[in-house]
Amino acid sequence: MTNRWGIHAPNNRRPRNMSEFFDAGFQNYTVLHGNENLISEIRARYPDAQILVRMFLTQWDKRDPSDWAREIADFMNRNRPFTNQVTWANEQNLDLEGHPQGASPQQPVPPPSLYQDINRWNMEMIRRLREAIPWARLHYPAFANNHSDDMNQGGYIGLEICRPSIQAADVMDCHCYWDVNDGPLTLEGGQRFVLTHNFFPDKPIFISECGNFAVRDPRAPEQYVTWMHSLYHYPYVEGATFFIWDSDGATENAPNVITESAALVRTLRETSKDAPAQLPPIPVAPPVISAARPMPPAPSAPVPAGGTDYTVLPGDTLIAIAKRFGVDLAALMVANAIADARLLRAGQRLRIPGAQEGQAAPPSSPPPASPTAPAPVVVSGGGTIYIVRGGDTLSAIAVRFNVTVPAIVAANQLSNANVIRPGQQLTIPKPAMVLSVAEAVATLEAQKPQVGVLGVGDASTPVVSPREIQEFLAGKRTTFYVTRKGDTIPRVAALFKMDALILSQINQVGMRGELIPGTRLIIPMR
């Protein structure tokens, strides 16, 4: 099928304007089983269309596969004249779908046991569906990306854990959402299905949800067209259905309801559904890293010959080590059979591919700043003197030197992490000297007592003492959140349902502006 264009039907009722829905010329449709009446209507209008029945299910882990498979078989047998495509669950790695271990704001990276449960349950579902409706084409339920399913967070690989059940299905479903500011052509967003394909190069892919959750943005029409045109690069993508045409369902879907934008509706109806003469550019796919059986990297990331050994130091990260030796991160993981980049420990021996035998580790401090700014100077004790430039923040400086903000605050006895000035000299401790948060708080307290009150929403006390931070965190469980592009303190605070001022105070970062990606924030848990 050359026409990749498609639409996801409404969640729980017929479209308000049937003519617009049917006149757009789409040849791919995803239909929830509650909208059964639409299936025959679509087939009558588009005899060659691909129609995926999405058997929506919450609390999948509590549903007996034999009962659910029987219900699906009854539904599909009724609709056999119209379609043979079906999927039996949805985004099972989210807690919203029912599993207590699913990803959530409190647990953005679920445990591997979740994927083990998904694999077992889906294996049983596939076995029973094969027996009941052997003529049906089974679509493996799509995962909600960005939750360790494709190792994007440096963790284990949910796709690999579920490999047996995915291989048993006929098609792999994917969901691809992109940020309206980044556009649809990044591997982190609209091209995310490429990562899934790297794990299963022989498995066709159907994209049952896609969009940018910003349909009213004036950039949306062009982005939707560009994204759909990009699919013509990939012969393994059978089709895609924009989520969602019209809905009176969940309020969180409102920014993605296509009928909310007359411009987007008009563009989708009027744009030719043929492949364009010139296709959009696409990002280079990363190599596959398999948890079950390490695979050689793709030609774009070869493992260099030779190599040397390196002993991990306190504060090291795999990314920093790869950059220090000038090797590809994927090649470093393959050479050491590492499936979880987060499980790095001090004293661990790593093989550095391509480095000459006996080569010492290059210095961990970054290269000099631009020629117009003073270069960092290494001082006794392994630290570095850095001259603050206009626009610098402590968070940005910490990321650049691979240290923490509290470590810089402690090393310089700063009274306020939000106040630094151009020309100011800062001592940057080397990574091995980086203090833990608790050590940094204790050091600050001993060096420079302060006053203040850690008040909820009290803007009159923006500066707090280390003792207050320590007392506030005492007895609380804490976790870390690693910021991503576009994150702000208010946004992260809302994610974890906590007061933004408190989050700002205990992490000593400002309330305004975007946070530097990669910043580690302390999150007190309830």
How would you write the pLDDT of the chain (526 residues) with one tens digit per residue?
468 999 999 887 677 777 888 888 999 999 999 999 999 999 999 998 999 999 999 899 999 999 999 999 999 999 999 999 999 999 999 998 889 999 888 888 888 889 999 999 999 999 999 999 999 999 999 999 878 787 655 566 788 889 999 999 999 999 999 999 999 998 889 999 988 888 888 899 999 999 999 999 999 999 999 999 999 988 889 999 999 998 766 778 889 999 999 999 999 999 999 888 888 887 766 554 443 333 333 333 344 456 788 888 766 777 778 778 888 766 777 777 665 555 667 778 888 887 655 555 555 444 333 333 444 544 444 567 777 776 677 877 876 676 777 778 877 778 777 778 777 878 887 654 444 444 444 444 444 333 333 443 333 444 555 666 766 777 777 777 777 778 888 888 888 778 787 787 777 777 777 777 767 788 887 5
User: Contact at 8 Å (CB) between 32 and 6?
Assistant: no
What one-letter code names the amino acid at 282? I
d(CA 81, CA 45): 14
Sheet with strand 377-378: strands edge to edge: 377-378, 384-387, 425-428
Q: Look up tokens 């992109």; give the residue.
A: 178
CA nearest 126: which of 72, 83, 177, 80? 72
Q: Which residues pair with 240 in a beta bridge?
A: 207
User: Contact at 8 Å (CB) between 501 and 461?
Assistant: no
- Give pLDDT tens digits for 403-420: 777 778 877 778 777 778
- Is the whole-model pTM more than 0.95? no
CA nearest 243: which of 271, 215, 217, 263? 215
Top-tier CATH class for 377-524: alpha beta
Q: Angle formed by the axes of helices 262-270 and 220-230, to 10°?
A: 30
Q: Using DSSP bridges, classify how beta strands 137-140 and 171-177 pair: parallel, antiparallel or unpaired.
A: parallel
Q: What is the pLDDT of residue 388?
A: 77
Q: What is the pLDDT of residue 432?
A: 43
Q: What is the pLDDT of residue 467?
A: 62
267: left (phi over 0), alpha (psi -120 to 50) or beta: alpha
Q: Using DSSP bridges, classify how beta strands 307-311 and 349-353 pair: parallel, antiparallel or unpaired.
A: antiparallel
**Which two structure tokens, joined as six digits, stand for 79?**
């609709």
Q: What is the pLDDT of residue 151?
A: 66
Q: Look up tokens 């159907």; give the residue.
A: 206
Q: What is the pLDDT of residue 249?
A: 63
Same fold, 286-362 and 377-524: yes
Top-tier CATH class for 286-362: alpha beta
Domain ranges of the chain: 6-270, 286-362, 377-524
Q: Which CATH number fits domain 6-270: 3.90.1150.10, 3.50.50.60, 2.70.170.10, 3.20.20.80?
A: 3.20.20.80
- What is the chain's length? 526
d(CA 10, CA 30): 9
Residue 474 neighbours by CB distance under 10 Å? 7
DSSP per-residue letters across 457-494? T-TT-----HHHHHHHHTT--EEEEE--TT--HHHHHH
What one-letter code names the amino acid at 462? P
**Which two structure tokens, joined as six digits, stand for 66?**
């034999």
Residue 262 neighbours by CB distance under 10 Å? 9
